[in-house]
Structure 1
Amino acid sequence: MYEKEPRTPEVEPPPSTTSKDGTPSDQHDMSRMGKSQQLRRNFHFIPIFGFAAVLMITWEATLSSASYVLPNGGLPALIWTYVFSLFGFGAAILSMAEMASMRVGENGQYHWVSEFAPAGVQKVLSYVVGWFCVLSWQAGIAGQSFSVGLQIQGLITLNSPTYIPQPWHSTLLAIAAASIGCIFNTFFARKLPLIEATMLVLHITGFFAILVTLWVMADIAPSSEVWSGLQNNAGWPTAGLAFVVGITSSVNSLIGPDSAVHMSEEVRDASRTLPMAMLWTLITNGIAGLVMVITFAYCLGPLDEALKPPYFFAFIGTFYTATGSHAGATVMSCIITLLTLCSAITNVATGSRQMFAFARDNGLPFSRFLSYFRYDIPLNATFVSFIIAALLSLINLGSGVAFNAMLSIGIVSLLSSYLVSISCVLWMRIRKQPLLPRRWSLGRWGAPLNVIGLAYLFIAWLFAFFPLGASPTVETMNWAAAVYGGVVVVACVYFALFARRTYIAPVARVKKEL
């Protein structure tokens, strides 16, 4: 269908290159983008692999998001939606890994769109995608921080039955988690690679600690109950529709593979290291998530209790039922909570770099302020990311509905950026236009994987707007559609009034360099 894709020759990094400049390949990539090296390249393969794996926390997320899928299909949906997502999202991750090798830069998706989209829409399309990326990662910081707060509340409820959870408790805990993320990304910024490698060790050891405990101590459900017989406890017209709505849970487990891309200017030999880190994150996190979701389905315990978890998350009750011990359940749950906090720290790093990159291209209001860097980090963008997370958390005090809408828009926005960027590279393949040189290629599997990834992403994007139950009330309605539409309108109006004159699409710099 298309010509054989070209490859660039291998470039081996000589020992004389500095940690800030990176390898000759890194220097060439920065020069090709028309930008100077500002951040220090202190991430090698293991730290950036740990960065992506810990941000996604796939096996942990299969536990924390189980409460959302169980009403929509029951135990079989818990497993089969994950299997479906693993293959579909896996194709999308591989597609993005190839694009990361084509064009290396913290810009990520909006840079890819800027280069791969048809010439007539490159600027405006990349601009809107840039807004989606910034919004999604800022919402991600607030979302993970809020998850930490809710999990801590669940643990307090487990150990103190007289405790009455209040919204302001979870809000303060979320702000505390976001502040920890900010501290780690400022005062300990140069130690971040070591911190990420340490988090990776906890991510792996925690998996085996919980897995073995559940299989040894929990009561095992019959296989017929686990693998077949979809249930519909959310009131949808059919169990099949309930199953598809429940796919949102698996999306939460696998979303965020582009996080490593937004750190690319801090990665040595990025055009090779990044796609390999994304590939191995898919393999290790994907398999670990599959093993854990099957284990959890067998060891869940009474489904009625899991559908209305008294501790906010079904996994806390499952751990208590399995061990019969408050202390045992607390220790197991603390592993999940600690790793969720690690993910929040990594989210701050990703979100601040994405904001910094887009501001550097004059894509945001106050771009000069947001693109300021010092001490080898985007200092202002890091602090602003914390402030945004804190302000979003305060919304929970007035309206939990509004706060959940802001969090759900993060998933929809990120899926939108994936959809547009992969569509652009597939469009080039269909038109048989020469793709950019890359050191990591999908070869003949490129187009099929693009198609599979796009098909899955569209389904996930569509049902991410659905509420988690039929006949929703104001409190249970998914308001992501309203927020999503509002963001698109605001971005387009700001572009028409201001950014069309000030925004510098990445492709403009590249063309000048070439």
Structure 2
Amino acid sequence: MTADAMEEGDIRRSVSVVSKAQADGLASAEDAEVLARLGYKQELRRNFTMIEVFGIAFSIMGLLPSIASTLTYSLPAGPVGLVWGWFVASLFIFFVGLAMADLGSAMPTSGGLYWWTHYFASPNTRNALSFLVGYSNTLGLVGGLCSIDYGFSLMLLSVVVIARDGEWEPSRGVIYAVFLGCVLCHGVLASTLSKVMGKLQTVFVAANFVLIAATVIALPIGRADQRNDAAFIFGKTANLTTWPTGWTFMLSWLSPIWTIGAFDSCVHISEEAANATKAVPYGILMSIGSCWIFGWIICIVIAACMSPDLSATLGSAYGQPMAQIYYDALGKRGAIAFMVLMFCVQFLMGLSIVVAASRQTWAFSRDGALPFSSFFRPISKTFGYIPLRAVWGCVGLGAVLGLLSLIDSAAASALFSLGVAGNNVAWGTPIFCRLWWGEHKFKPGPFYTGKFSQPIGWIAIAFMIFGTLLAMFPVEGPNPDVSSMNYTVVISVALWGGSLAYYYIDARKWFTGPKMTLDSDELSKDQQDAIIAEGLTIDGVKPPSSNSGRDEESAPAMVGKSAD
């Protein structure tokens, strides 16, 4: 064969993987090429614009409903815990977002967190750590779904309690029934609205801001003659726990830590995002930044308009401190109206997190790591190129985990902290692996924090370690009983220990990390060399000679046979 013929063949193959994605209407040539460098062919349709990637993270955060759901963490420290706890913790969360944005811009793929872990970790640790991160992230997202939908059920039922003047209290069975109905509705909507899901994120963001604006305007008007002064808002401390006052302030950080905890959804949606290398970091930082600023404003307004009797607010007969705050300012009808708006926005939060969780689940099953991966792996073209089975897998698991709410409030509150602890491990591990083992392999994308990247990463890791430990402390004090115990440590250790036990007992025999979904005959010689240089191995293609400049340490075995 002549050199010209060989070159022509290479050109034809080099565009095949990209042209197929274009022909199917799934992605642009640039996005398909970026994904191909990570070893994956385009299978999902890129329906999400840059603003819509921001939208899915911001809508999952559901700023005002999330603040309302977590007032039990912040109010025991008084207005100082509510206002300054939010501001300081959000600053550190922004550092975490910057570190993740660096990675998301460089390597945008739906399974990004465990993919990055495997790529940057050492040869002896990459498979185990990648396996741990994948499970921690998957179950952390499903735990987030449970906590959001559990919060929805409490908000919806609080409307009934207010309407009955506090003379009715829902049983745990009723709470779970509402929760289960909510989870199933999310499954149906996530399955049938896939073609417009990106557009809906803009609607969800608008709904969040409408609720925020209405609350920020209505509460000060309703409490015009009873507003608290600046000294109370910014300087009044309290301690409604048996912890030292300083530690009670630290526990107030759990409110922003739990609220601003869905920015990794931008990573999981990256294979459905147009111009992903820019959309992913934009979505991460804009969602965190928006929650930081607007959340601080909301906290200031709440501190200004709430009753100075914090114990009465926390022990409200309506089951929700925020319901009591609305009631005190706006009366019965106003409280009902705002709580209806609140649980509607909370419902939208749950729908968005089902989408994000299903993409992580699908990506992990694509790489063969989940039980029944071959079942969850297929993409449904009928429903709009979405992982339909993964959607219902998340819904089913969420329904099972939600059974914890039938035990008592302590077990139910563990659902909140499961998302915090599980996701902190999933977010922190790839950042640590990059800084400790793989900095020399990191190739920045369009977004990069430059010389500040490493110090930002270490600050982020330190904060996530602290946040994980914080999420495991009993909120009320150091001597908890059965009803006030924080069971997050039990659930988290079971999650991490179970994942590692599964890996070392069985999965180590077959899990070799992320798998390539591209066919070698779809790639040109240059593409093959570039992919191998990224650390991936291609069945049937010999790697470059030993003088290619990459040793075992810098070439992780991503697919096929191990490169070690």
- Please indicate the TM-score interval, normalised by the length of the shorter structure: over 0.9
**1:118-133 residue pairs with structure 2 within 5 A?**
118-133=122-137
Distance 1:364 1:507 in 2: 13
Match of 1:179 among 173, 177, 184: 184
Deviations 1:429-484 (A, max 9, x none): 7xx62422311111122122212222222221111110111121111101111221
Amino acid at match of 1:306: T
**Structure 2 equivalent of residue 477 of structure 1:** 485
* Aligned twin of 2:196: 191
**Aligned runs of 1:156-235 on 2, under 5 Å?**
156-161=160-165, 162-218=167-223, 219-235=226-242
Contact kept, 8 Å, 1:63 with 1:293, in 2: the verdict is: no
Q: Is the 8 A contact 1:97 1:274 kept in 2?
A: yes
Deviation at 1:98, TM superposition (A): 1.2
Once the two structures are TM-superposed, the CA of residue 401 in structure 1 deviates from its matched residue by 3.7
Distance in 1 (CA, whole Å) between partners of 2:432 and 2:239 is 34
> How far off its partner does 1:400 sit?
4.2
Find out whether 1:243 has 2:242 as its counterpart.
no
* Superposed CA offset, 1:293-333 (max 9, x none): 11111111232211212222211111111112x22111112
Task: Give the distance between the partners of 1:94 and 1:231, measured in 2 at CA.
Answer: 33
Local SS of the residue matching 1:185: helix
Rounded to whole Å, the distance in 2 between the matches of 1:496 and 1:224 is: 56
1:116 aligns with 2:125: no
1:327 aligns with 2:352: no
Does the Cα contact within 8 Å between 2:73 and 2:251 map onto a contact in 1? no
- Contact residue 69 and residue 248 of structure 1 kept, 8 A: yes
Which residue of the partner structure matches residue 375 of structure 2?
Answer: 369
C-alpha separation in 1, matches of 2:190 and 2:25: 18
- Equivalent residues, number: 496
Contact 1:115 1:507 in 2 (8 A): no
**Matched residue, 2:536:** 511
SS at match of 2:440: coil
Give the aligned partner of residue 9 of structure 1.
Answer: none
Q: What percentage of residue pairs aligned between the two structures are identical?
A: 23
Are the equivalent residues in 2 in contact too, given 1:184–1:345 (CA < 8 A)?
yes
Which moved further from structure 2: 391-400 or 271-280?
391-400
SS of 1:120 mapped into structure 2: coil
Q: Is 1:206–1:335's contact at 8 Å kept on the other side of the alignment?
A: yes
Q: How does 1:38-77 map to 2 (within 5 A)?
A: 38-71=43-76, 73-77=77-81
The corresponding residue for 1:278 is: 284
Task: Give the alignment partner of residue 403 of structure 2, picking from 394, 405, 413.
Answer: 394
Distance (whole Å) between structure 2 residues aligned to residue 141 and residue 19 of structure 1:
32
Give the Cα separation in 1 of the matches to 2:395 and 2:83: 35
The DSSP-based 3-state class of the residue aligned with 2:178 is: helix
Question: Is 1:263 paired with 2:269?
Answer: yes
Distance 1:160 1:44, change over 3 A: same
- Could you tell me the TM-score, scaled by structure 2's length? 0.84
| Matched residue, 1:252 | 258
Mapping for residues 401-416 of structure 1, pairs under 5 Å: 401-416=410-425
Structure with max Cα Rg = 2
User: Structure 1 pair 20/428, CA: closer, same or farther in 2 (3 Å)?
Assistant: farther
Name the CA distance, whole Å, in 1 between partners of 2:292 and 2:505.
44
1:95 is matched with 99
What secondary structure does 2:467 align onto? Answer: helix
Q: What is the aligned-residue RMSD (CA, Å)? A: 2.0
Distance 1:434 1:362 in 2: 25
Whether 2:162 is the aligned partner of 1:137: answer no
Q: Which moved more, 1:415-424 or 1:404-413?
A: 404-413
- Partners in 2 of 1:257 and 1:230 — Cα distance? 31
Partner of 1:37: 42
> Unmatched 5+ residue regions in structure 1?
1-12
* Aligned partner (choices 453, 456, 462) of residue 460 of structure 2: 453
Partner AA of 2:453 in structure 1: G
Counterparts in 2 of 1:434 and 1:365: CA distance versus 1, 3 Å = closer
In structure 2, stretches of 5+ residues that fail to align are 1-17, 518-534, 544-564
